[in-house]
Amino acid sequence: MADKDISQAVIARLPRYFRYLGDLKEKGVERISSQELSDIMKVTASQIRQDFNNFGGFGQQGYGYNVNYLFDEISKILGIDRQHSLVIIGAGHLGKAIAGYTNFTRRGFVFKGAFDRDPALFGTMIRDVEVRPIDEVEDFVRNNNIEIAVLTIPKDQAVPMAHKLADCGIKAIWNFAHVDLDVPNNIQVENVHLSDSLMKLSYNISRYEKTIKQ
Amino acid sequence: MADKDISQAVIARLPRYFRYLGDLKEKGVERISSQELSDIMKVTASQIRQDFNNFGGFGQQGYGYNVNYLFDEISKILGIDRQHSLVIIGAGHLGKAIAGYTNFTRRGFVFKGAFDRDPALFGTMIRDVEVRPIDEVEDFVRNNNIEIAVLTIPKDQAVPMAHKLADCGIKAIWNFAHVDLDVPNNIQVENVHLSDSLMKLSYNISRYEKTIKQ
DNA sequence: TAGATTGTTAATCGATTAACAATC
DNA sequence: TAGATTGTTAATCGATTAACAATC
């Protein structure tokens, strides 16, 4: 079932399916139909079936989907059936927040290193990891087979850092800096542009206020 | 130029335009054509013109767009030409990271209050604001005309909190809890599901590794 | 005026939804 | 077998791109 070329729209929905299936699993639900899932998730049953069928058939006619099986298949698709090592670059509050997020550990994301520019932080601990000087990042990534770098540093530092990371074999960058990174496309980039998100919120407030005025 | 019904796809692109126009402005660029902007932003010139024309014509034939003017118009559209007061609910690292993000202040988001469940934090300061007990949220929102609540609390607390906030007249929720909130649709919700984002990243790592294997 | 570039309509592409035959 | 529900094709809808007339 090699995914030919799944659209990012579909990919973006997978974690949400995963989340709901995890909840169902916890509740002890064994099977679910696309229609039931449709009611809970508020997307069409048709879309659910189409989405899953991008990756092959996970259901059974007349029965529906087995929750446990579907959950496992989606974790495989998402690549969270195995571990990913990561480092956090920028040991401020945001970096600490992410490092401390235990759910990530549960999903196989292993926090291996933390780096900062501020000497006052060197040697301090974030969970079981000590903060190191930022110019040790490259060696650390190379020597410890790090897959993911979490960039929680200001945007002017993020751009050169992304290039350095590209050179030392990082596989992916989870970018929290408010800037678009330009790296070779063998490196996966996922942006979390918090300011963009807040502006969307602000837009929707304004839009709603306009509609009620009329 | 009342926006009839702009698609969320367009809205989601506006903050990015805003970001690039801000950069151009800082560099002292006065005018730009859709083609030049297209080259920089790597979207089609056609899309740029279509997007802007959803809100009325901001350009001039034969000239292009005036950077300052366009920047100002987009800030109006995004509703960041005025102030928005916000409170942060959950004074952990994530809450502190957001509170400390000075760029938000620059865009008119005014940090007015912080709340937590942990008594050890009561009275401690985040910037110039002291952390209060979480059950004071409702009165505070009502008495201080708070528009936005930032939810940086665990998901099981986020759901009941969202309902409380709905009852005391909040306009919008910026939700960092890994759960979908179900609130009346006079309340705008913008989700930042970090775990979803990380899973997308993980998917793209796996997908890339599959493609190179073949 | 001639050249440039927008604003806007038309064409294309892709994603979502509907429908139904296949099948458990 | 009959009923249920998937997998999948076809129809629709919406978003993106292309093209060009309007106009600065």
φ/ψ of residue B66, rounded to 5: -80, 120
Higher pLDDT, B153 or A2: B153
The answer to whether the beta carbons of residues A6 and B204 sit under 8 Å apart is: no
The answer to whether the beta carbons of residues A181 and A189 sit under 8 Å apart is: yes
Q: What is the per-residue pLDDT for B214?
A: 60
The answer to whether the beta carbons of residues B154 and A176 sit under 8 Å apart is: no
C-alpha to C-alpha distances, B20 to A153, A157, B159, nearest whole angstrom? 19, 18, 36
Residue closest to B89 by CA, chosen among B126, B64, B44: B126
Residues of A in contact with B179 (CB under 8 A): 19
Q: What is the per-residue pLDDT for A214?
A: 60
Per-residue pLDDT of chain B (214 residues; tens, 9 = 90+): 344 689 999 999 999 999 999 999 999 999 999 999 999 999 999 999 999 999 988 999 999 999 999 999 999 999 999 999 999 999 999 999 999 987 888 999 999 999 999 999 999 999 999 999 999 999 999 999 999 999 999 999 999 999 999 999 999 999 999 999 999 999 999 999 999 999 999 999 999 998 887 6
Nearest to A97 among B93, B101, B193 (CB): B93
Contacts 24+ apart (CB under 8 A), A160-164: A161/A89, A161/A137, A164/A137, A164/A138
Residues of B in contact with A182 (CB under 8 A): none
φ/ψ of residue A175, rounded to 5: -100, 115
Separation in Å: C24 C1' and A46 CA:
19
User: Which residues, 6 or more positions from A66, have their beta carbon under 8 angstroms from its beta carbon?
Assistant: A30, A31, A60
**Cα-based torsion angle of the residue sequence A206, A207, A212, B4 in order, rounded to the nearest 10 degrees:** 150
pLDDT digits (tens, 9 = 90+) for A175-205: 999 999 999 999 999 999 999 999 999 999 9
Residue closest to B19 by CA, chosen among A55, A177, A112: A177
Lookup: tokens for A111: 């926090």
Counted residue by residue, chain A has a size of: 214
Task: Give this prediction's pTM.
Answer: 0.95
Residue closest to A114 by CA, chosen among A104, A126, A102, A103: A126
Interface contact flag, A109 B210, Cβ < 8 Å: no
Cα(first)–Cα(last) distance of chain A, in Å? Answer: 52
- For A43-108, strand residue ranges (E) read 59-60, 64-66, 84-89
The answer to whether the beta carbons of residues B195 and A103 sit under 8 Å apart is: yes
- The C-alpha atoms of residue A144 and residue A86 are separated, in whole angstroms, by 10
- Collapsing DSSP to helix, strand or coil, A172 comes out as strand
The answer to whether the beta carbons of residues B143 and B133 sit under 8 Å apart is: no
Residue A186 sits at the chain B interface (C-beta within 8 Å): yes
Query: Quick check: A64 CB within 7 A of strand D?
Result: yes
pLDDT digits (tens, 9 = 90+) for A18-28: 999 999 999 99
Q: Which strands make up the sheet holding B125-126, listed edge to edge?
A: B125-126, B129-133, B109-116, B84-89, B148-151, B172-175, B188-191
The answer to whether the beta carbons of residues B190 and B175 sit under 8 Å apart is: yes
Interface contact flag, B197 A188, Cβ < 8 Å: no
Q: What is the per-residue pLDDT for B1?
A: 38
pLDDT digits (tens, 9 = 90+) for A75-132: 999 999 999 999 999 999 999 999 998 788 899 999 999 999 999 999 999 999 999 9
Q: What is the DSSP letter of B168?
A: T
Name all domains of chain B by residue range, CATH numbers in brackets.
8-77 (1.10.10.10), 84-196 (3.40.50.720)
CA A159 to chain centre: 20
Mean pLDDT confidence for A51-78: 96
The answer to whether the beta carbons of residues A94 and B94 sit under 8 Å apart is: yes
Q: What is the per-residue pLDDT for A2?
A: 42
pLDDT digits (tens, 9 = 90+) for A27-40: 999 999 999 999 99
